[in-house]
């Protein structure tokens, strides 16, 4: 029983005994008045006086001052009984039975000092009564009222009192042990509940609690005819913080944001952490969308407020998607999904803002959203495969390498083009991990196909922007090379112009380290971006890849031909090699060789193919 409950229970019992005593006294009062004996009037006065003297017990008990109330009750009764003894029949008076009863009650209530004081008082009182009779100061009617009989009564009373006290002491100990055991059980129950229903890091409630609170909020909403808002909050740059500053900083940031969100919500609103950097807010009592929007904007500001973590000031932004009950439905899961979709709309249109679920936008978003959800499972469920497109030496006609191109076998939609899912993976922060998998797989495959070849065939791997900004490219490459035991000079990394411009410092360091290991670098899709000469010189990449859009129009479009010629000349003057992608026919091949480009890849030879087909191709090739 919890302390509060125990107190209530004791109060209840004390009041019961109090009412009972008052009732007995009242009956006795009437009885005396009706009996009209010799002592009726003084006795009635004594009873009336005692009844009044007991009344403070009620006030003290109802105000939970239980110890004082009990002491008052016991002392008043003891004085009443003692007065009866002195006034009427001394030690032969029936009132003497009151003493042991009072002692038992005080022992039951666990009042140690009161118990001892009362017992001493009673013993002294009995002895005094006996002595008074012996010395004939008072003359009680019965002859048994003497010091000797008083001593006997005292011994009986002391024996009774001590044995009751001892027994009750044991009982109390047992009760206390049981109570503390009970408290421990309750504590561990609470801990388990806390663990099941709360997030360990931020101590915020989790989705299970959110679901319960949503049901309550919905009930309130249907009575008050107001709206419940379900807000899905996703931090915009959390992965970056985690990757660049470490997990401990990421954790501290999440805790700070959880606190900020709580501070900016009312006590009846709920904020939960549902996964990594995603929070869910349930807020009720809205009459208009404007009120919801104002709250969302307040939360955006709260999240954006800079926080100090480990001597670094970090500020984060978030995207908030909102769905409303009953407007968008009244099912928790549906509303969460709609809020999630609205959140993706915000992410799509530039982040750091909030948006309501919109049925018109939802169709298109739903597809992207579903695809994104499926994409999350692609890596763990091994739905990715690398295809290889051979690269040829245009003069000798021999294969010298292959480009690794990622394929996603979607469980229901079949093969999905990288042009569709790679931008999605980039936006949602998944591309860095996918890119690392590509590196590992490509190195592994390349090591495999190189076994027993007359000359080595290298692999070219496309690197994404986020592998630089969100992961440690040098480390990833070194890990992949070590794991596969592939020599660095059999690996080529394809970079894009955007990467050179936007991550110049990071790249320069990575290129330096990896070049020392023999790794080659090429610039993919050259001609479609900045085509800036300055960084070409700075980075000393070995190879320029002429984008397929130029190659394919080489025969028909003079402008494309001029661009290709310029690229080839530029490469020659910078002492870079050139490779043309997208060669689909012999005429293009011939023209490219005439212009001075001696490497190429394209459908003319082969489309990107699975590893087994590529290996079969190598087997039929002079390199075997
Ligand atoms: P990319 O790196 O420029 O790859 C060349 C693309 O041209 C490939 O498309 C390839 O299948 C296609 N191609 C090759 N020869 C021909 C041809 O003769 N005619 C035509 N019409 N197309 C040809 P794919 O495989 O669809 O890849 C598209 C883009 O997706 C790639 O362009 C690359 O930017 C990206 N990508 C693919 N795999 C990866 C990857 O593992 N990591 C990263 N970061 N990006 C990748
Ligand atoms: Mg490429
Ligand atoms: Mg390309």
Q: Looking at residues 374-397, what average pLDDT do you find?
A: 95
Confidence of residue 104 (pLDDT cuts 50, 70, 90): confident
Q: What is the pLDDT of residue 452?
A: 86
Using a CB cutoff of 5 Å, list residues around ligand 2, an ion.
Answer: 462, 494, 524
Using a CB cutoff of 5 Å, list residues around ligand 3, an ion.
Answer: 524-525
> How is 152-212 classified by DSSP, letter by letter?
HHHHHHHHHHHHHHHHHHHHHHHHHHHHHHHHHHHHHHHHHHHHHHB-TTT--B-HHHHHH
> Which stretch of DSSP H or E encloses residue 61?
helix 56-62
Positions of E strands within 573-622: 577-581, 599-601, 609-610
Residue 2: CB partners within 8 Å, gap ≥ 6?
Answer: 183, 186
> Which stretch of DSSP H or E encloses residue 98?
helix 98-108
Q: What is the pLDDT of residue 37?
A: 67
In 3D, which of 48, 54, 144, 42 has the Cα closest to residue 93? 144
Q: What is the pLDDT of residue 10?
A: 84
Q: What is the pLDDT of residue 2?
A: 59
Cβ–ligand 1 contact at 527 (below 6 Å) = no
Q: End-to-end distance of the chain based on CA atoms, in angstroms?
A: 83
Contact present, 520 and 477 (Cβ < 8 Å): no
Q: What is the pLDDT of residue 3?
A: 67
Question: Residue 462: pLDDT above 80?
Answer: yes
Confidence of residue 289 (pLDDT cuts 50, 70, 90): very high
Question: Residue 451: pLDDT above 80?
Answer: yes
Confidence of residue 483 (pLDDT cuts 50, 70, 90): very high
Cβ–ligand 1 contact at 608 (below 6 Å) = yes
Strand, coil or helix: what is 266?
coil
Question: Residue 137: pLDDT above 80?
Answer: no
Question: Residue 127: pLDDT above 70?
Answer: yes
Q: What is the pLDDT of residue 129?
A: 84
Of the candidate ranges 57-61, 73-77, 533-537, the one whose mean pLDDT is the lowest: 533-537
Tokens 């360990």, residue located: 200
Q: Looking at residues 291-297, what average pLDDT do you find?
A: 95
Question: Residue 458: pLDDT above 90?
Answer: yes
Contact present, 232 and 261 (Cβ < 8 Å): no
Ligand 1 pocket test: which of 548, 550, 586 has the largest number of ligand atoms within 8 Å of its C-beta?
A: 548
- Respond yes or no on whether the N-terminal peptide bond of residue 326 is cis (omega within 30° of 0): yes
Which tens digits make up the pLDDT trace of 259-280? 999 999 998 899 999 888 999 9
Question: Residue 1: pLDDT above 70?
Answer: no
Name the closest ligand to CA 526.
3
Q: What is the pLDDT of residue 256?
A: 94
Contact present, 357 and 337 (Cβ < 8 Å): no
Confidence of residue 146 (pLDDT cuts 50, 70, 90): low
What's the token pair of residue 408? 């996603």
DSSP 416: E
33 CA distance to ligand 1 middle (Å):
113
Question: Residue 580: pLDDT above 90?
Answer: yes
What's the token pair of residue 514? 């990896």
Q: What is the pLDDT of residue 463?
A: 95
Which tens digits make up the pLDDT trace of 301-353? 999 999 888 888 888 899 999 999 999 998 999 999 899 989 988 887 778 89
Q: For residue 293, report the phi and psi dihedrals to the nearest 5 degrees.
A: -60, -40
> Which stretch of DSSP H or E encloses residue 132?
helix 112-134
Q: Looking at residues 474-498, what average pLDDT do you find?
A: 95
Q: What is the pLDDT of residue 411?
A: 94
Contact present, 275 and 232 (Cβ < 8 Å): no
Q: Looking at residues 185-202, what average pLDDT do you find?
A: 78
Question: Residue 131: pLDDT above 90?
Answer: no
Q: Looking at residues 104-109, what average pLDDT do you find?
A: 82
Q: What percent of the chain has pLDDT over 70?
A: 95
Q: Looking at residues 38-66, what average pLDDT do you find?
A: 86
| Cβ atoms within 10 Å, residue 441 | 20
Q: What is the pLDDT of residue 319?
A: 95
Which tens digits make up the pLDDT trace of 206-251? 888 899 899 999 988 888 889 999 999 999 878 878 877 888 889 9
Tokens 């040098």, residue located: 474
Question: Residue 522: pLDDT above 70?
Answer: yes
Q: What is the pLDDT of residue 622?
A: 81
Ligand 1 pocket test: which of 378, 521, 543, 581 has the largest number of ligand atoms within 8 Å of its C-beta?
A: 581
Contact present, 546 and 581 (Cβ < 8 Å): yes
Cβ–ligand 1 contact at 287 (below 6 Å) = no
Pick the residue with more confidence: 39 or 108?
Answer: 108
The C-alpha atoms of residue 406 and residue 427 are separated, in whole angstroms, by: 17
Which amino acid residue places its CA nearest to atom 16 of ligand 1? 582
Question: Residue 145: pLDDT above 60?
Answer: no
Strand, coil or helix: what is 87?
helix
Q: What is the pLDDT of residue 35?
A: 73
Pick the residue with more confidence: 427 or 130?
Answer: 130
Q: What is the pLDDT of residue 38?
A: 67
Question: Residue 56: pLDDT above 70?
Answer: yes
Name the closest ligand to CA 601.
1
Ligand 1 pocket test: which of 386, 404, 418, 587 has the largest number of ligand atoms within 8 Å of its C-beta?
A: 418
Average pLDDT, the chain: 88
Using DSSP bridges, classify how beta strands 318-325 and 227-235 pair: parallel, antiparallel or unpaired.
Answer: antiparallel
Burial 222-255 (b: 16+ CB within 10 A, else e): eeeebbbbbbbbbbbbbbbbbbebeeebbebbbb
Positions of E strands within 341-398: 354-356, 384-393
What are the angstrom distances between the C-alpha of 448 and each of 215, 455, 620? Answer: 57, 14, 16
What are the angstrom distances between the C-alpha of 428 and each of 158, 434, 469, 565, 623? Answer: 83, 12, 14, 39, 42
Residue 403: CB partners within 8 Å, gap ≥ 6?
Answer: 388, 389, 391, 459, 460, 462, 494, 581, 601, 608
Chain mean position to CA 258? 9
Confidence of residue 39 (pLDDT cuts 50, 70, 90): low
The C-alpha atoms of residue 421 and residue 22 are separated, in whole angstroms, by: 85
The C-alpha atoms of residue 181 and residue 39 are separated, in whole angstroms, by: 55
Q: What is the pLDDT of residue 141?
A: 62
Which amino acid residue places its CA nearest to atom 7 of ligand 1? 582
Q: Looking at residues 516-521, what average pLDDT do you find?
A: 96
What's the token pair of residue 571? 């490469």
> Which stretch of DSSP H or E encloses residue 13?
helix 3-35
The C-alpha atoms of residue 83 and residue 449 are separated, in whole angstroms, by: 112
Which amino acid residue places its CA nearest to atom 22 of ligand 1? 582
The C-alpha atoms of residue 598 and residue 606 are separated, in whole angstroms, by: 17
Question: Residue 461: pLDDT above 80?
Answer: yes
In 3D, which of 26, 66, 20, 70 has the Cα closest to residue 50? 26
Pick the residue with more confidence: 440 or 358?
Answer: 440
Q: What is the pLDDT of residue 593?
A: 96
Q: How many residues does the chain have?
A: 624
Q: What is the pLDDT of residue 597?
A: 95
């Amino acid at each position: 029983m919890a302390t509060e409950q125990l107190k209530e229970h004791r109060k209840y019992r004390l009041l019961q005994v109090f009412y009972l005593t008052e009732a007995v006294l009242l009956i006795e009062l009437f009885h005396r008045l009706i009996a009209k004996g010799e002592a009726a009037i003084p006795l009635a006065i004594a009873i009336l006086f005692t009844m009044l003297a007991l009344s403070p017990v009620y006030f003290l008990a109802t105000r939970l001052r239980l110890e004082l109330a009990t002491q008052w009750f016991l002392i008043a009764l003891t004085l009443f009984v003692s007065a009866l003894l002195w006034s009427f029949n001394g030690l032969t008076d029936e009132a003497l039975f009151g003493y042991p009863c009072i002692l038992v009650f005080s022992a039951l209530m666990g009042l140690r000092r009161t118990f001892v004081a009362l017992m001493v008082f009673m013993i002294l009182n009995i002895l005094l009564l006996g002595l008074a009779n012996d010395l004939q100061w008072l003359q009680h009617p019965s002859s048994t009222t003497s010091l000797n009989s008083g001593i006997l009564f005292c011994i009986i009373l002391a024996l009774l009192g001590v044995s009751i006290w001892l027994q009750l002491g044991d009982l109390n100990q047992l009760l206390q042990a049981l109570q503390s055991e009970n408290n421990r059980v309750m504590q561990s129950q609470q801990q388990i509940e806390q663990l099941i229903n709360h997030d360990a890091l931020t101590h915020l409630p989790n989705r299970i609690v959110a679901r319960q609170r949503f049901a309550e909020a919905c009930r309130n909403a249907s009575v008050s005819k107001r709206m419940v808002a379900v807000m899905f909050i996703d931090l915009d740059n959390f992965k970056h913080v985690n990757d660049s500053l470490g997990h401990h900083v990421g954790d501290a940031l999440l805790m700070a944001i959880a606190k900020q969100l709580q501070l900016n919500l009312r006590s009846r609103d709920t904020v939960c952490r549902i996964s990594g950097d995603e929070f869910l807010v349930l807020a009720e009592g809205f009459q208009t969308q404007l009120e919801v929007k104002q709250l969302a904007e307040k939360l955006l500001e709260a999240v954006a407020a800079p926080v100090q973590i480990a001597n670094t000031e970090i500020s984060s932004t978030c995207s908030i998607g909102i769905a409303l009950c009953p407007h968008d439905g009244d099912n928790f899961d549906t509303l969460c999904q709609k809020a999630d979709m609205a959140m993706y709309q915000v992410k799509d249109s530039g982040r750091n803002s909030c948006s309501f679920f919109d049925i018109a936008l939802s169709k298109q978003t739903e597809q992207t959203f579903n695809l994104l959800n499926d994409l999350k499972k692609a890596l763990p469920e091994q739905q990715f495969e690398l295809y290889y497109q051979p690269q040829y030496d245009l003069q000798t006609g021999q294969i010298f390498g292959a480009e690794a191109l990622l394929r996603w076998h979607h469980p229901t939609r079949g093969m999905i083009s990288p042009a569709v899912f790679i931008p999605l993976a980039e936006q949602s922060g998944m591309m860095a991990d996918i890119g690392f998998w590509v590196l590992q797989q490509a190195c592994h495959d390349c090591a495999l196909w190189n076994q027993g070849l007359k000359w080595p065939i290298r692999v070219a791997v496309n690197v994404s922007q986020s592998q630089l900004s969100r992961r440690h490219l040098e480390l990833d490459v070194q890990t992949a090379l070590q794991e596969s035991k592939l020599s660095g000079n059999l690996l080529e990394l394809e970079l894009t112009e955007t990467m050179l411009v936007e991550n110049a410092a990071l790249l320069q360091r990575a290129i330096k380290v990896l070049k020392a290991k023999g790794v080659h670098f090429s610039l993919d899709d050259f001609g479609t971006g900045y085509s800036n000469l300055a960084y070409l010189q700075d980075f000393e990449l070995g190879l320029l890849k002429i984008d397929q859009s130029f190659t394919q129009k080489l025969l028909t479009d003079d402008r494309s031909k001029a661009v290709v010629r310029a690229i080839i000349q530029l490469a020659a003057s910078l002492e870079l090699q050139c490779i043309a992608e997208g060669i689909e026919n012999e005429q293009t091949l011939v023209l490219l060789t005439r212009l001075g480009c001696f490497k190429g890849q394209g459908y003319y030879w082969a489309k990107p193919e699975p590893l087994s087909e590529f290996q079969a191709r190598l087997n039929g090739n002079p390199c075997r």
